[in-house]
Amino acid sequence: MCFPAFRVVMLCCLVGNGLIAAVRAQEPDDGYRPLVGQRHQEFKLPNIVTREKVHLSDFRGRKVLLIHFASW
């Protein structure tokens, strides 16, 4: 997504057919890496449709897949 192949990846990894491994290989090592085994830091951000505050803890009690992406 944030790399030369990102746009393709945006479509492919979320809705299409592949390229995930190719992009992952380009991720920098010093990026955002929440620690496995620890509770993810709490945050609140606006929903892009409603602009309402959404807390990560709102989803406590459910398995969550947190996807950081971009449409470009």
Residue 22 interacts with other proteins (CB under 8 A)? no
How is residue 8 written in tokens?
């393709």
Site string for other proteins, 46-65 (x = CB under 8 A): xxxx---xx-xx-xxxxxxx
Is 6 an interacting residue with respect to other proteins (CB under 8 A)? yes
25 binds other proteins (CB under 8 A): no
* Helix, strand, or coil (residue 23): helix
Q: Are 70 and 11 in contact (CB under 8 A)?
A: no
Cβ within 8 Å of residue 57, ≥6 positions away: 42
**Chain centroid offset of residue 48 CA:** 15
CB of 65 to other proteins, least distance (A): 5
Residues that bind other proteins (CB under 8 A): 1-18, 20-21, 23-24, 27-28, 30-43, 45-49, 53-54, 56-57, 59-72
